[in-house]
Chain A
């Protein structure tokens, strides 16, 4: 889900070329980097004759920065739950005519009526997943099953944290037994102290480059998204993914249509197409994340279909979803700067 900084550069340069499109029969899609099997875009073009103009973003916040000021117009966006909530609140999204999305029935009930879009008016789920710890069983003998393990001095300089304030603070809050959406200053202060205390043990705060390093055994454990973990385990069977018992972040990335979309009907067709089980299966097989559609899951190869990494029993996890963080961003940023500025 969180994609890397190199893409940022790529996106910035590709911006220059995206204006002045003369062709009317297009759909402009803005998605996470490396978050689709691009052949499905070609298939959509062949089936419908609608040209897909495809761009990528590295974080929800960057997507928001670009879309919210109205300078860029897209037809389909694929942000995460809390960002959808924020965009609905700010009236940046338009309602989706679900009667036109025939494949919406393929989406499981678990992924309908979620808090960010309680009446299923604005969004159609694309993927979902959890965050947890990936660890290397050839370097760690014991069972890792809680966030506190990332604070174990035994693993000094063997831990990769994610270079993202929100995810790091989530981990610290969960370790302390608090809600990751807390706005309580004293709880956040404790989380900050936890992260500063953890710093001497952390080898590096990584972005996407951490995945390859982890596969190579550069570190013994790493904070990771389930989808990334799935791919990493595919490359190194010694790795194992665990959802810590203190609880974790559970996210849904969903397709939405921004208010200033110029090709509403094409957007509906695109969303419908991406929900089709065979297409969804192609995408999930490529990106490694989990599909919200059982029909699509059935079409996946066995090891993916039955993967406990990608499809944990949702009832057993102590899970929480991020809510709109807008009012907290300054606080998170300050906490993170303090953690980063602390001496190792």
Chain B
């Protein structure tokens, strides 16, 4: 019975750092100040339903979606390769994937900025060989690139983990029963790795949807995403109500998408990070 108390520090931690801030966010989003009086108001939410802001949200969703798809397409085959028995250097590759995460992502993004600038390292090399300068930065493309680079590990690691957990006997049984490689992949491997895929998708989609730093550094501030809008409400416009409402809407979208994905019962079983 005593063991129950062991959870207290964690409960306290989540209460102070998760529940309370969330609660404040909810409050801020539903009130406004009129003549020094704080009153209940839906203004922050109604303000959002404006083609301008909807447009920003749709653009953010589109970029996050593209990023997630590309990450998945790149990560799944690599995870398969890492998991195959013939491949012996898997530790090395895994370390290479994880290693950059030891550094602050802001610094890595700055590094990419310096590499990709018009007068940056890569263009200097191109020019050296007589090739014309190519403008890599300051576009949606460079934002997507930055997001893929930053969030790729979050896709590959859960997929790899879920693949390693698959009982090899199941795959052997599949072959014994006459299934070929493609059928085995479709019916055995992919479904069993699905929880990892879901986790990966969520872990890439969420930060892609909310990023504001990559937009600014690699996108050159040319594109505004919902993360930038939220940041601006808190730091410059000083409209915490609208900023909170935007955050709530964003959380709602993420929650709905997680629920959509996790309708599939496999999420509850092992292999998932969530």
Contact = CB atoms under 8 A, between A and B. Distances in A.
B224 A163 contact: no
B68 to A, nearest CB: 23
A205 B52 contact: no
Contacts of A205: 220-222
A304 interface: no
Nearest to B107: A6
Contact of B117 (A9, A163, A213): A213
Contacts of A8: 235
Interface stretch (B74-82, B236-244, B258-266): B236-244
B56 A203 contact: no
Given A5-B213, A6-B106, A203-B138, A209 B113 contact: yes
A189 interface: no
B110 interface: yes
Interface residues of B, number: 33
- Which of A203, A330, A332, A341 counts the most chain B CB atoms within 10 A? A341
B235 A330 contact: no
A interface, how many residues as a size bin? 35 or more
Contact of A209 (B59, B217, B238): B217
Interface in B204-228: 213, 216-217, 220-224, 228
A216 B119 contact: yes
A329 B118 contact: no
Contact of A59 (B113, B228, B235): B235
A135 B220 CA distance: 19
Contact of B238 (A65, A163, A204, A338): A65
A157 B222 contact: no
Interface in A290-344: 329-330, 332-334, 336-338, 340-341, 344
A62 interface: yes
**Chain A interface mostly helix, strand, loop or mixed?**
helix
A337 B53 contact: yes
A217 B119 contact: yes
B56 A330 contact: no
Nearest to A163: B221
A64 B238 CA distance: 9
Contacts of B203: none
A71 B220 CA distance: 34
Interface in B47-86: 52-53, 55-56, 59
A203 B52 contact: no
Contact of A341 (B55, B135, B235): B55
B137 A204 contact: yes
Interface string A190-226: 0000000001001111110100010011100000000
A165 interface: yes
A165 B135 CA distance: 26
Given A59-B235, A216-B119, A329-B238, A337 B56 contact: yes
B222 A216 contact: no
Contacts of A207: 216, 221
A121 interface: no
Nearest to A60: B236
B13 interface: no
B144 interface: no
Contact of B237 (A9, A204, A330): A330
A216 B133 CA distance: 15
Interface string A1-21: 000011011000000000000
Nearest to B51: A341
Nearest to B113: A209
B148 interface: no
A338 B221 contact: no
B53 to A, nearest CB: 7
B110 A209 contact: yes
B146 to A, nearest CB: 14
Contact of B118 (A218, A332, A334): A218
A163 B223 CA distance: 11
Contact of A329 (B117, B119, B229, B237): B237
A65 B234 contact: yes
A204 B138 contact: yes
Contacts of B113: 209
A265 interface: no
Given A6-B106, A216-B117, A333-B232, A206 B238 contact: no
- Which of B55, B119, B220, B240 counts the most chain A CB atoms within 10 A? B220
Interface of B: 52-53, 55-56, 59, 106, 110, 113, 117-119, 135, 137-138, 213, 216-217, 220-224, 228-229, 232-240
Given A61-B238, A65-B235, A333-B236, 16 more contacts: A9-B106, A62-B235, A65-B234, A65-B240, A203-B118, A204-B137, A206-B220, A207-B221, A216-B117, A216-B119, A333-B237, A334-B52, A338-B52, A340-B223, A341-B52, A341-B55
For the complex of A and B, 4 pairs with smallest distance between CB atoms: A204-B220, A205-B221, A340-B224, A333-B237
9 contacts: A5-B216, A204-B221, A205-B221, A213-B117, A329-B239, A337-B53, A340-B221, A340-B222, A340-B223
Interface of A: 5-6, 8-9, 58-59, 61-62, 64-65, 157, 163-166, 199, 202-207, 209, 213, 216-218, 329-330, 332-334, 336-338, 340-341, 344
